[in-house]
Amino acid sequence: MRRLRIVITLAPMLGALVWQYADTAPAVAQEKAKCGVFFDKASGEGIPATMLAVIEAAYEVVAGQDCVDTGKVPTACGHWQRALKALDNAEPALASDINAGIKGMMQQHQCG
């Protein structure tokens, strides 16, 4: 139940941020996050660095969930690590909220 709550909390918030910048960088909004496919920062040209960091984290979180859904937990852990690293460049208050959710997913799936 806790995992579902984390995903339900993170997904809409992160999705809204990607949608907000769809006009600025359509390539970011059109990319469907898939397991094993990492975010391409070049597709976010024109987006402020702090927002691009959150969008990158959102992409990696969704890709990690896709990995879990297909039974590739170690790859999911890699996506979530990248999400945490991306948030180093985000606005600190927002990053701390998102970090907690990502770390919760990592703990649940025993990411090392």
For residues 3-10, give the mean pLDDT.
49
pLDDT one-digit tens code per residue, 90-110: 989 888 888 988 999 999 999
Give 18's pLDDT tier (boundaries 50, 70, 90).
low
* pLDDT 10s digits, 52-88: 888 889 889 989 999 999 999 999 999 999 999 999 9
- Round to whole Å and give the CA distance between 11 and 70: 18
Q: Is the pLDDT of residue 35 over 80?
A: yes
Judged by phi (left if over 0) then psi (alpha if -120 to 50, else beta), residue 48 lies in beta
Within 10 angstroms of residue 55's Cβ, the number of other Cβ atoms is 24
Q: Please report the sign of the dihedral spanned by the C-alpha atoms of residue 65, residue 66, residue 71, residue 77.
A: negative
Q: What is the pTM of this model?
A: 0.76
